[in-house]
């Protein structure tokens, strides 16, 4: 762990400078042109995102690009540039960086490729030059080979792709070594989960995943952190950053690529990350640091949803209730296959009380099948929820439904779940749909499936894996003495 005072001071200074990336007042896109290009799309996105600061384009061949004034060089821009976006040829990058330093630019994101990821001596030499420059400069450098940064609270969208007219702001921040991973913001927002800040780090010559995690750990607009990582370049700083996030009660959910040798070769050509023989060691380190590791993008997304849906968890005992015996059996198998979760066995006393209120053809054990007929009998559902709530035999009630649709609070199920929450706040009720995806039809409009302001879990397997990750995270906090929630030890 870091103990060197100089290194700690340097890290603190870096955090202050990182604000230039996410909260700039002046932005310049260097290499912009009216022609279709990544630079042009980044410039257009900054403008269309509603950025309220000053914007300039830099290219000696133009005076204006759209409605944005264009200047011959960064030194000609008449306002203070906090963030410069470099979209120039790799061989010209160092000269442009020198100009940026001369004009006291706060941060630079190097979108250009053509560095060590080429796996050539020429590319490696260019990257060493940029790294030496960054080490000796007060200007923050993110990249090269980066896709850009996003801050939806500012707002600023300095990436080459944004596809949704409806931006949902919230507390999820991400640090990705791959630009395309920014696409996860769309399914998150379509599920009603808001996004705060996103950074893509590329080759990480200066700003690393660790520094950004540490920045997000102290960011009041971030409550959870997601990451796609191809290799940890500074393990000590990374450990300190993860500990900081854990102390702040902010989960880190990471997809660490490179489980197989063939993929590690591809990683070297993608972000010049030396991932050889480090994967297993890093996975163990992540587990020791209570970082939640997942194996797919889908699991990354669903685990974020599970955290949002599971606020106030107090234990790992799970009960499943639905109108479908088949779904109950499938979900019960998933729960029993998830070590962090416990499918609670109803006591004889509870089963007797359930038999007194349920139809004759319903069962009285967990998973609880209320039968389709109970859909039409309001008293059955309300009585069942009352009996379950009074039992004290579980911590999580999963309510199963067929499709990913919102539960209206004034519906039969909505009223029963709300009453359960009011009368027994120690129980976390989480709706989960049997299938996932966007449904369309006369009564299914494709809007985010929600209940009581929280996203629904989707899928009988992926949702249970995600819930297990969430419970496991809380349990690890207890072991480390870092508990920040009301979760009790699993029973």
* Model confidence pLDDT, tens digit, residues 154-207: 999 999 876 665 788 999 999 999 888 898 998 999 898 999 999 999 889 999
Beta carbons of 251 and 224 less than 8 angstroms apart:
yes
pLDDT(359) > 80: yes
Distance between CA atoms of 440 and 432, rounded to whole angstroms? Answer: 18
Tokens of 480: 């480390």
Q: Which of 386, 381, 369, 433 is nearest to 412 (CA)?
A: 381
Q: Residue 484: its pLDDT value, please?
A: 47
Instruction: Enter the DSSP assignment of 144.
Output: S
pLDDT(457) > 80: yes
What number is the average pLDDT over the span 362-391?
86
Q: Which of 313, 293, 246 is nearest to 482 (CA)?
A: 246
Q: Which of 300-309, 313-322, 359-368 has the lowest mean pLDDT?
A: 359-368
pLDDT(91) > 70: yes
Q: Residue 276: its pLDDT value, please?
A: 55
pLDDT(265) > 80: no
Tokens of 323: 């109108």
Q: Which of 168-172, 271-275, 325-329 has the lowest mean pLDDT?
A: 271-275
Confidence of residue 269 (pLDDT cuts 50, 70, 90): low
Question: Can you tell me which residue has the tokens 């940064």?
Answer: 149
pTM of the model: 0.89
pLDDT(218) > 80: yes
Distance between CA atoms of 313 and 477, rounded to whole angstroms? Answer: 13
Q: What is the pLDDT of residues 249-259, one digit of tens each?
A: 999 999 987 66
What number is the average pLDDT over the span 202-217?
93
Beta carbons of 152 and 169 less than 8 angstroms apart:
yes
pLDDT(273) > 80: no
Beta carbons of 15 and 217 less than 8 angstroms apart:
no
Q: Residue 15: its pLDDT value, please?
A: 61
SS3 6: helix
Tokens of 187: 């399914």
What number is the average pLDDT over the span 57-77?
96
Question: Can you tell me which residue has the tokens 């955090």?
Answer: 15
In percent, the amount of the chain with pLDDT more than 90 equals 62
What number is the average pLDDT over the span 376-383?
81
The 3-state DSSP composition of the chain as helix, strand, coil percent (nearest 5) reads: 40, 20, 40
pLDDT(271) > 90: no
Distance between CA atoms of 69 and 58, rounded to whole angstroms? Answer: 9
What number is the average pLDDT over the span 427-449?
74
pLDDT(4) > 60: no
Distance between CA atoms of 215 and 404, rounded to whole angstroms? Answer: 35
pLDDT(9) > 60: no
Tokens of 48: 């269309």
Confidence of residue 118 (pLDDT cuts 50, 70, 90): confident
Confidence of residue 330 (pLDDT cuts 50, 70, 90): very high
Mean pLDDT over the full length of the chain: 87
Q: Residue 259: its pLDDT value, please?
A: 66
Most confident of 55-64, 285-294, 302-311, 452-461: 55-64
pLDDT(45) > 60: yes
Instruction: Enter the DSSP assignment of 53.
Output: S
């Amino acid at each position: 762990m870091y103990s060197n005072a100089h290194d700690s001071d340097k890290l603190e200074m870096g955090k202050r400078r990182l604000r230039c990336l996410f909260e700039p007042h002046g932005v310049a896109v260097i290499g912009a042109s009216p022609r279709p290009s990544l630079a042009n799309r980044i410039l257009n996105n900054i403008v269309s995102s509603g950025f309220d600061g000053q914007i300039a384009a830099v290219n000696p061949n133009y005076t204006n690009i759209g409605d944005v004034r264009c200047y011959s060089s960064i030194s000609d821009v008449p306002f203070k540039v906090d963030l410069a976006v470099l979209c120039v040829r790799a061989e010209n990058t160092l000269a442009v960086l020198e100009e940026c330093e001369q004009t006291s630019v706060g941060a630079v994101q190097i979108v250009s490729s053509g560095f060590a990821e080429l796996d050539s001596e020429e590319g490696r030499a260019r990257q060493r030059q940029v790294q030496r420059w960054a080490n000796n400069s007060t200007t923050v450098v993110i990249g090269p080979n980066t896709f850009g940064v996003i801050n939806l609270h500012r707002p600023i969208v300095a990436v080459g792709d944004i596809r949704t007219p409806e931006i949902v702001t919230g507390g999820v921040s991400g640090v990705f070594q791959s630009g395309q991973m920014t696409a996860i913001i769309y399914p998150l927002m379509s599920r009603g989960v808001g996004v705060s800040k996103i950074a893509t780090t590329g080759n990480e010559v200066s700003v690393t995943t660790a520094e950004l995690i540490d920045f997000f750990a102290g960011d009041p607009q971030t409550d959870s952190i997601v990451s796609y990582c191809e290799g940890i370049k500074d393990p000590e700083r990374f450990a300190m950053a993860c500990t900081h996030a854990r102390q702040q009660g902010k989960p880190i959910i990471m997809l660490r690529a490179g489980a197989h040798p063939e993929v590690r070769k591809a990683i070297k050509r993608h972000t010049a990350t030396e991932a050889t023989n480090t994967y297993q060691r890093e996975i163990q380190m992540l587990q020791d640091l209570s970082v939640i590791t997942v194996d797919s993008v889908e699991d990354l997304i669903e685990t974020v949803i599970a955290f949002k849906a599971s606020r106030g968890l107090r234990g790992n005992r799970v009960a499943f209730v639905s109108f479908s015996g088949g779904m109950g059996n499938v979900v019960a198998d998933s729960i029993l296959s998830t070590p962090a979760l416990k499918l609670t066995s109803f006591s004889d006393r509870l089963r007797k009380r359930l038999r007194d209120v349920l139809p004759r053809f319903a069962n009285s054990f967990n998973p609880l099948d209320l039968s389709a007929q109970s859909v039409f009998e309001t008293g059955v559902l309300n009585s069942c929820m009352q009996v379950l709530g009074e039992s004290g035999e579980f911590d999580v009630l999963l309510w199963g439904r067929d499709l990913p649709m919102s539960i209206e609070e004034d519906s039969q199920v909505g009223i029963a779940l709300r009453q359960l929450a009011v009368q027994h706040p120690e129980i976390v009720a989480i709706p989960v749909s049997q299938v996932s995806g966007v449904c369309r039809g006369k009564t299914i409009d494709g809007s985010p499936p929600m209940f009581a302001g929280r996203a629904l879990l989707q899928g009988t397997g992926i949702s249970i894996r995600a819930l297990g990750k969430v419970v496991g995270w809380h349990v690890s906090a207890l072991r480390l003495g870092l508990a920040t929630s009301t979760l009790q030890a699993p029973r």
